[in-house]
Amino acid sequence: MVRYRRNFVLGGTFFFTVTLDDRRSSVLIDHIDKLRNAFRVTRAERPFEIDAIVILPDHLHVIMKLPDNDSDFSGRWRRIKSVFTHRLAASGATVSRNNRGESLLWQRRFWEHTIRNDADFERCVDYIHFNPVKHGLVTSPIDWPHSSLHRYARDGILPADWGGNGEISGNFGERGE
């Protein structure tokens, strides 16, 4: 059995890639309101900050900062996935289950990277905001509606035309193409 090593850092800031099991699905953006609600519910129960996020049809990337005395990002992801899955099923959407009754909506694991310094943080934020372009969903990052780039532009952190001609490299836990 594979042993996953996680870097549990109290108050850490982490980059995550969380993926649906069916990579052809668009359920995350089709039910964005339920996903946002799952984040709100989880954050109310177990606080965290979102420094950057992008929601794509079949996966999401997020930079999450935990409270100073806490390192349990796995519990938060378990809760976000659970709330979203339950809300989705309650809406009448079909959610496949295995023979033990477990949902097959999400991949069981997620990819995580500990943010080490300001340059690492900026590189990960850039990757998040450029990801819709990388996947061919839009030609400019600002055109993707489910991205924290809109907040960054509104707050004057990045210009609205950021990344219009750029290229960001790195796979950050995604499958090679």
pTM score of the predicted model: 0.88
Among residues 120, 108, 107, the alpha carbon closest in space to that of 14 is found at: 120
What are 103-113's pLDDT values in tens digits?
A: 889 998 899 99
* Helix segments in 46-165, DSSP class H: 73-90, 118-134, 149-154
Determine the pLDDT at residue 78. 96
Which strands, in side-by-side order, build the sheet including 59-65? Answer: 49-55, 59-65, 13-19, 111-114
**Over residues 159-172, mean pLDDT:** 69
Structural domains of the chain in order of their starting residue, each with its CATH number: 13-116 (3.30.70.1290)
Determine the pLDDT at residue 144. 97
Among residues 143, 112, 80, the alpha carbon closest in space to that of 6 is found at: 112
Determine the pLDDT at residue 175. 53
Q: Do 40 and 89 contact (CB within 8 A), yes or no?
A: no
What are 58-80's pLDDT values in tens digits?
A: 999 999 999 999 999 999 999 99
Higher pLDDT residue, 105 or 95?
A: 105
Helix crossing, 32-45 with 73-90: angle to 10°? 140
Among residues 87, 100, 127, 122, the alpha carbon closest in space to that of 111 is found at: 127
When pLDDT is cut at 50, 70 and 90, the band that residue 177 belongs to is: very low
Q: Do 131 and 56 contact (CB within 8 A), yes or no?
A: yes
Q: Do 48 and 76 contact (CB within 8 A), yes or no?
A: yes
Q: What does the alpha-carbon distance between residue 95 and residue 88 come to, in Å, rounded to a whole number? A: 8
Helix (H) or strand (E) holding 33: helix 32-45
**Over residues 98-107, mean pLDDT:** 85
